[in-house]
Amino acid sequence: GESVGLHLPTLSVQEGDNSIINCAYSNSASDYFIWYKQESGKGPQFIIDIRSNMDKRQGQRVTVLLNKTVKHLSLQIAATQPGDSAVYFCAENKGNTPLVFGKGTRLSVIA
């Protein structure tokens, strides 16, 4: 079936550097995309979302980029901090359907 996947399962980044977490999706009909952060022992927390009528959206230290041509989604974290260490999930859906989650990327920040 169609699903959302990730290019890399783990990512190690030096504190202060920028992080880029990638996600590939296969459902070209999806019109909503979202990134979640999950810290150990906690439920996923919303980071940022984007609709298919946009290709970029910025939040506080985070930017989501959407390339519909190649069905690629990325999350950029500026000036990565130790508190950013977590597993990051992308998810997508269309309309009222449940979100489909990728397997996640573990981000480790090296002090």
Partner 1 sequence: GAGVSQSPSNKVTEKGKDVELRCDPISGHTALYWYRQSLGQGLEFLIYFQGNSAPDKSGLPSDRFSAERTGGSVSTLTIQRTQQEDSAVYLCASSFSPGLPRGNEQFFGPGTRLTVL
List contacts with partner 1 (CB under 8 A).
32, 34, 36, 41-46, 49, 89, 91, 93, 95-104
Instruction: Give the DSSP letter of residue 82.
Output: G
- Closest to partner 1 by CB, 5 vs 82, is 5
- Closest to partner 1 by CB, 17 vs 37, is 37
Q: How far is the CB of 79 from partner 1 (least distance, A)?
A: 25
